[in-house]
Amino acid sequence: MFSFTKEQKIIDISGIRLGGQPGVNPTVLFGGFFFKGNPDFNNAKKQLEEMYKLSKKTGNSAI
C-alpha cells in the first residue's frame, strides 16, 4: 500500500478524522460550492441533501 514518507497530520472535526497515511482513516465526503467559480446557492440544499443521502448509503462520514 502507498504511504507518505513525510509525517502526516490528522485533524478532528466534530469526531470526524481527516488526514494521516492512506488507509488509516476512512474516506470522507466533503461538500463544497466554490470548485466551479461562483457558488450556486439556489441548488445548494439539494446538493447537500444528496451528499448526506450518499453518506448514509455508503457509511462514509460527510462534512
Give the up-direction half-sphere exposure of residue 38: CA atoms within 13 A in the CB hemisphere: 3
Please, what is the average pLDDT of the chain? Answer: 87
**Alpha helix locations (H) across 1-63?**
41-58
Model-level pTM? 0.66
Residue 28: the pLDDT is: 92
Please state, in angstroms and rounded to a whole number, the distance separating the CA atoms of residues 13 and 35: 21
- Answer for the pair 61, 55: CB distance below 8 angstroms, yes or no: yes
> What pLDDT band is residue 22 in, cutting at 50, 70 and 90?
very high
- d(CA 12, CA 53) in angstroms, rounded, equals 22
